[in-house]
Structures are given as C-alpha cells and as structure tokens.
Amino acid sequence: MTALITESRLADPDRTYRALIEAHRGLSDEDSAALNSRLVLILANHIGEHSVLQEAIALAKQSMEPVEPASE
Amino acid sequence: MGRIMNTRKILYQYGYHRCPDQDRASPARHSVIIVGAGPVGLCTAIDLAQRRIPVVLLDDADRIGEGSRGICYAKRTLEILDRLGVGNLCLEKGVTWKVGKVFQGNDLLYAFDLLPEDGHKMPAFINLQQYYLEHALVERAAALPNLEIRWCNKVVDLKHRNDGATLTVETPEGTYKFDTDWVVAADGARSPLRGMLGLAFQGEAFEDRFLIADVKMKGNFPPERWFWFDPPFHEGHSALLHKQPDDVWRIDLQLGRDANVKAEQAPERVIPRLRQMLGHDNFSLEWVSVYTFQCRRLERFVHGRVVFVGDAAHQVSPFGARGANSGIQDADNLAWKLAIVLKGEAPESLIESYNLERSAAADENIGHSTRSTDFIAPRSAQELRFRDATLALARHASFAKRMVNSGRLSMPSTYDTPLSTPDADSWSGSARLGAPLPDAPLHDQNGRPIWLLDAIGGEETILHVPNGTQPPKGSRVLVIGSDLFDNQGFFAQRFDASPGSTYLVRPDQHLAARWRHGTPSLLESASRRLRGFEGGHA
Ligand SMILES: Cc1cc2nc3c(=O)[nH]c(=O)nc-3n(C[C@H](O)[C@H](O)[C@H](O)COP(=O)(O)OP(=O)(O)OC[C@H]3O[C@@H](n4cnc5c(N)ncnc54)[C@H](O)[C@@H]3O)c2cc1C
C-alpha cells in the first residue's frame, strides 16, 4: 500500500500551478466548481488507491482548520 | 415509512379463528413464536416447520392488501424460496429480467446485462409483486402440519425472561397470554416489539421524497430495468421503470425534498406526470404512494431469547432491492440454527452467530443502499456537482461509468465467521468459503438431471470426490460419481474439484469447510465448529 506523497514531485511546480489557473480563467464560480469536480474524479481514478485518496482528503481538511497561534 | 394511506383493495382474505390457547386456565408454553407474517416471518416459520419444529406465527392483520412494496427478488433469495417450496411458483408468475439501461436526459448512458451464467437453476432476478410472494408463502405455510398461523393476533406486550418470554396478544375476542422459549420478531420496519424492549433503531434518513406508482398498461417496453437521470419528462430528477407481471409497471419518480406529499398523490397530479413519461395516457393507476427512505438498524439482532429479523432488524432504501431479499436471507440463516438449538444438537450460543453474520450483511446492504441513494438524490450543491460530473464523464471515460450508481443489485453475503474452518489448501473456482454454494447441473443415479442445491436441500452435507480411499463418514455424504454425476463438468470447475476434494456444507447451503484430502478428524471438528461448538472441540 502506497502512502500519499507530499514532497514535491513536479519538475516545474509553477507550470503545473499555472495549468490549473488557466483551466479556470474566465469561468464562472459554478463552472469552475463543475470543472474541479470532474478533475477530482479523474485524478482519484488515476491514483487508483482508496487509502491514498483518504489521506489526501485528510490533508485537505487539515489545511482548512484554523491555524493555532504558536504559544511558547 | 412516510407513506400516506390509500384505500387498499383486499387481495387475499384470511380468517381469524379462536385457538385453544385462548381458553386455557394457565398460559400455554410454545417453543417458537414468530411475530409478523410478512415475507420474512413467513419464510422463518416455513423453514422451521420444514425442520420439524412446531411454530406459531402471529399477525395483527387478516389479509394481504394491494400496495407497492417489494418487486425484485434476487437469485439467492429465489434459491431459498425454492428450498422453502415456492420457487417454481415465483418463477412461473414472475417476470425474469437481466438487462438494465441507464439514461441521462434522452441518451442511453450505458446498458448492463446481468449475464446469467449457464448452469444455474435460478435466474439473476425476477420481478413479482410482493403480495403474490406473500400469498404463495401463506399457501405453503398452510400445507405444513406443524405451522399454525393466527390472523388478527396482535402482540401488545412482551415480558422478557432469561429462558423465554410471555406475550400478551390482542384478538377480536379479547386478549390472552402465553409463554414461549423463543420469539422471532418479524414485525416490520415499525416493529412494536423493538419498542417493547426499548431498543433504538438508528441510522440515516433521506430527505428526498419519491413517488411510487404501479401502472397497468400494455406497453411496448421490453422487460428491462430503465433508470433515468434528469429525463426530459421529469427534469432535474430521476425516474425508474420496471416491469411486473399482469402488465403492471413500477414507476419511481424522485420528487425532491420539498414536495407536497398529499398533493403529489392526487391523480390530477400523477396522471399528467406519467403521461409525459410514457408518451400516452393509455394506462390505469393501480397504486400510488409517496415515500421517504431510511437506512437504519438495530445495534444487535439478538436480545436474549428475542431475535429480530427482516425490516424489524434493519431497514434500507429500495434502491438495489435489498429489503425483502436480505430479510429472507436472515430467515435462511436463523432457522437452521434455532432448529438445532431447540433439538439440543447445538449450544444456545450458536444464535450469536446469527447476530454476527447477519449484522455484517446488514452493514453491507445499508452501505450499498446509502451510496445509491446519495448518488440518486444528492443533498447539497456540491454533491450534485460530483454526481453530474460523473454522469458527464461517463460518456467519455469507462471509469466514470462504473461510478454511476442507480442501485447496485442485491448479492448474497460471504460470511466471515467463526463457524467456518479456514482454508488450509488453495482453491480457485467460484465457490468461496462462507458464501452460498454456486449451483451446478448434475445427474442422479437414475440418470435424471438434478440441481446441486436441490440435492443438498437444507441439511448439513458432505460433498466428496472419490480418490480410491474410503469416502468420509458423516450424517449425510454425497459422493460425486456415485450419488451425483458431474457429466458437464460444472461442479468440477466451480468447486475446483480434484480426486479427494471434500466439502462441508451448512444447512443454509453456505460453504463451511473444504479440503483437498479431508480426514475423519478434520471433518468431525469442522462439523462441530459449524454447529457452534467453539473451535470445533468438545
Ligand atoms: C416502495 C418499496 C419498494 C420495495 N422494493 C423492494 C424490492 O424490490 N426488493 C426487496 O427485496 N425489497 C423491497 N422493498 C422492501 C420490502 O418490502 C420489505 O423489506 C419487506 O416487506 C420486509 O419484510 P418483513 O417481513 O420484514 O416485514 P413486513 O413485510 O413489514 O411484515 C411485518 C408484519 O408484521 C405484522 N405486525 C406488525 N406489528 C405486529 C404486532 N404487534 N403483532 C402482530 N403482527 C404485527 C404486520 O402486519 C406485517 O404483516 C421495498 C419496499 C418499498 C416500500
């Protein structure tokens, strides 16, 4: 069972990020959301492992939690 | 279930009769009482009676009325019904189908063929009105001398003891009481017995409302299951069309969560909707109701001497036809266990394996039917987007087709259970440990064709392929090549059989153990184990 890889794997992360931006440019929020839904499904299938997807969901959710101010 | 009463036509009327228990000075004592003569209570009663256990079956009504309930019965259920003596009747009356089509808008998204494999007695599915099934079961029950049905006998109180229960029963001639060693609660989704024991029934309720209509028409539609997402005749919602006997068609229309339950059932509302769907109004309405659906279960199905089966134990949404199908499989699982416990051939703790095996099955069923309902009736804007994205992608990519979920049809459970003896050898073929045996066409000693499952029936059985040594001993041994003949090779293939292969089959036809070379002590220990003697040891 593979684990979710969180180290960068992209040769050119800026270009990949830019591809996502371009895909959404000019779309309404509704169309963007529809596009993202399709992308998520396609990528989930490509990953092909339920446990990896589950880890990705957990990471995404974790990043939505409010950041605790560092108390020292 | 959120259904609004219509006036029900009585289809089959049975009579209330005074019974001797009502005139006794002190309460009678029975060994098993079954409460509820729905399909599950009836199957449990018949199964127990066939196993020579006297049973009394109580029902608060005295009739079977019309109304839209179960229509699809799956192969495993048909095999059980066959063992209970009503299989042929159901097959003759029912509509056998195997093709399903899923549409989005006007377009066919994909079609599936249940592709029944050759060499099985029962088809993948039949459609049959639930009242026909219930009627067939009542007739069968009436033919069994040790099975007594008491109509208009409503259980109003249950006092539970360690060694049984006392029930108070209301009849048109007043109430009476009796004692019983065991109670099987088959009293349906609203189960008053659950309430009497103070048990919670927990799970998920779905907000969407569905219109279920049974429509009589001579249509040109083939006997297939057609499911639409967002059809032109019912925009933004889903629809289902399925054939039943007597030129009756089942129609399910999703109404959304805000639909007015009363208004939607009015003929002036229903008829135009159906006219739009069918493209004509050459039909008559048999029955219309509006449902909301739930997926819920009891945490435990066994409470001392009270055992819950069917909808009383677990309730699912109808997408995937799992309600009666899984309930009848509960009956199949419980009856043989209760019978051998009552005969003193197994410890009482065997009943706990019913809880374990059928709980796991209920979770499987609830999982499938929850996921189908989520897909058919998304609850938020984003859920709807994912659903629509899946449908859109399905036209372009095969992975998305597999995600389209208009109901996954009921399959039997493979029990992961302490009653099985783990495989020590490796096996291929379609037989699986803990699963019902795959059927196979065989011949008997007189050269007559016989189905494997008919040959096994409802008894613990050893199947053995000879290899020159002494065949195994056991209460019942069937030897391939002398009792049964595998002329077409289906058995060898499905059971991955080779000389010496030996299989131990439970009374509910699930596979309990198998060996490439079974020794008497292995067989003895596996047989004890399947009867609930822990680890197979004395
Ligand atoms: C629209 C719809 C479609 C469905 N489609 C399918 C399908 O295609 N396939 C499928 O497998 N399932 C289907 N189901 C589910 C199926 O109808 C139920 O799962 C099935 O009826 C459950 O059987 P049961 O015997 O457990 O309970 P029930 O059929 O509800 O029977 C319970 C019985 O107990 C009696 N009773 C209640 N209280 C008492 C009391 N206090 N004393 C005495 N008697 C009492 C009642 O009168 C009743 O006769 C569908 C259901 C609906 C609503």
What's the pLDDT score for residue B278?
Answer: 86
Distances (CA, A) of B211 to A44, A45, B256, B321: 35, 35, 10, 16
Residues B309, B380 share a domain? no
Distances (CA, A) of B350 to A16, B160, B284, B330: 60, 20, 51, 14
Of these ranges, B143-147, B318-322, B365-369, the one predicted with the greatest mean pLDDT is B143-147
What's the pLDDT score for residue B408?
Answer: 85
Q: Indicate the top mutation candidate among B46, B154, B187, B242 to test ligand 1's pocket, ranked by most ligand atoms within 8 A of CB.
A: B187
Rounded distance, CA B265 to CA B330, Å?
A: 34
Residues B350, B215 share a domain? yes
Is the per-residue pLDDT at A12 higher than 60?
A: yes
What's the pLDDT score for residue B1?
Answer: 35
Residues B388, B470 share a domain? no
Residues B377, B323 share a domain? no
Q: For residue B495, what is the DSSP state?
A: T
Residues B193, B45 share a domain? yes
* Residues lining ligand 1, Cβ inside 6 A: B 1, 35-41, 58-61, 68-72, 130, 154-155, 186-189, 192, 212, 291, 310-312, 318, 321-325, 327
pLDDT band per the 50, 70, 90 thresholds, residue B2:
very low
Q: Which of B233, B266, B231, B274 is nearest to B250 (CA)?
A: B274
Q: Please tell me whether the interface predicted TM-score (ipTM) of this complex is above 0.85.
A: yes
Is the per-residue pLDDT at B5 higher than 70?
A: no
Residues B354, B211 share a domain? yes
Is the per-residue pLDDT at A72 higher than 80?
A: no
Spatial strand order of the sheet with B461-464 comes to: B477-479, B461-464, B502-505, B511-515
Query: Is the residue at B352 inside a domain?
Result: yes
Q: How many CA atoms lie within 13 A of B390 on its CB side?
A: 20
pLDDT band per the 50, 70, 90 thresholds, residue B357:
very high
Rounded distance, CA B241 to CA B207, Å?
A: 22
pLDDT band per the 50, 70, 90 thresholds, residue B514:
very high
User: For residue range B64-104, what is the model confidence (pLDDT) as tens digits?
Assistant: 876 778 999 999 999 999 999 999 999 999 999 989 999 99
Q: Which of B315, B261, B377 is nearest to B70 (CA)?
A: B315
What's the pLDDT score for residue B215?
Answer: 92
The secondary structure of B255-313 as a DSSP string is EESS--HHHHTSHHHHHHHHHHHHSS---EEEEEEEEEEEEEE-S-SEETTEEE-GGGT
Q: Give the residue, by CA position, lying nearest to ligand 1 atom 5.
A: B70
Domain boundary among B378, B403, B428: B403
Residues B508, B462 share a domain? yes
Least confident window among B176-190, B213-227, B306-320, B481-495: B213-227
Helix, strand or coil for residue B120?
A: coil
What's the pLDDT score for residue B3?
Answer: 39
CB distance B47 to B332 below 8 Å: yes
Cα torsion B140, B10, B96, B292 to 10°: value is -120
Rounded distance, CA B326 to CA B324, Å?
A: 5
Number of domains in chain B: 3
Which is more confident, B265 or B532? B532
Distances (CA, A) of B79 to A23, B3, B229, B429, B509: 54, 31, 33, 20, 10
What's the pLDDT score for residue A1?
Answer: 66
Q: For residue B413, what is the DSSP state?
A: P
What's the pLDDT score for residue B536?
Answer: 56
Would the pTM count as exceeding 0.90?
A: yes
Residues B370, B273 share a domain? no
Q: For residue B487, what is the DSSP state?
A: T
Range of the domain at B522: 441-536
Substitution target in B371, B386, B390, B402 with the highest count of A β-carbons within 10 Å is: B386
- Nearest CA-CA distance, residue A46 and chain B, Å: 9
Query: For the domain that residue B458 is a member of, what is the CATH number?
Result: 3.40.30.120
Instruction: Tell me what the pLDDT averaged over chain A comes to.
Output: 93
Query: Is the residue at B200 inside a domain?
Result: yes
Mark out chain A residues that contact chain B at CB-CB < 8 A.
33-34, 37-38, 40-42, 45
User: For residue range B296-345, what is the model confidence (pLDDT) as tens digits?
Assistant: 999 999 999 999 999 999 999 888 788 999 999 999 999 999 999 999 99
Contact check, Cβ <8 Å, B400/A40: no
Residues B168-197, mean pLDDT to the nearest whole number: 97
Q: Encode burial over B229-252: b for 16+ CB neighbours within 10 A, e otherwise.
A: bbbebbeebbbbbbbbeeebbbbb
What's the pLDDT score for residue B222?
Answer: 85
Domain boundary among B403, B420, B455: B403
Whole-number percent of chain B with pLDDT over 70 = 97
pLDDT band per the 50, 70, 90 thresholds, residue A71:
low
User: For residue range B111-141, what is the model confidence (pLDDT) as tens digits?
Assistant: 888 867 899 999 999 999 999 999 999 999 9
Domain boundary among B306, B330, B362: B362
Query: Is the residue at B225 inside a domain?
Result: yes
**Atom in ligand 1 nearest the alpha carbon of residue B212:** 1
Residues B451, B391 share a domain? no
User: For residue range B394-447, what is the model confidence (pLDDT) as tens digits?
Assistant: 999 999 999 999 988 888 999 999 999 999 999 999 999 999 999 999 999 999
- Which position has the token pair 């929020």? A29
User: For residue range B7-34, what is the model confidence (pLDDT) as tens digits?
Assistant: 567 888 899 999 999 999 999 999 999 9
Contact check, Cβ <8 Å, A37/B403: no
- Nearest CA-CA distance, residue B386 and chain A, Å: 5
Q: Indicate the top mutation candidate among B130, B227, B289 to test ligand 1's pocket, ranked by most ligand atoms within 8 A of CB.
A: B130
Contact check, Cβ <8 Å, B385/A42: no
Token digits of residue B219:
């249509």
Residues B162-171, mean pLDDT to the nearest whole number: 96
Residues B396, B254 share a domain? no
Q: Give the residue, by CA position, lying nearest to ligand 1 atom 51.
A: B69
Per-domain residue ranges for chain A?
Answer: 28-62
Amino acid at B49: A
Contact check, Cβ <8 Å, B386/A37: yes
- Which position has the token pair 């990020």? A17
Contact check, Cβ <8 Å, B389/A38: yes
Least confident window among A68-72, B38-42, B322-326: A68-72
Rounded distance, CA B483 to CA B150, Å?
A: 42
How many residues in chain B? 538
User: How far is the centre of ligand 1, averaged over its atoms, from the C-alpha of A15 (Å)?
Assistant: 59
The answer for residues whose C-beta is within 8 angstroms of residue A71's C-beta and 6 or more apart is: none
Residues B128, B23 share a domain? yes
What's the pLDDT score for residue B538?
Answer: 44
Whole-number percent of chain B with pLDDT over 90 = 77
User: How far is the centre of ligand 1, averaged over its atoms, from the C-alpha of B296 (Å)?
Assistant: 14
Residues B236, B335 share a domain? yes
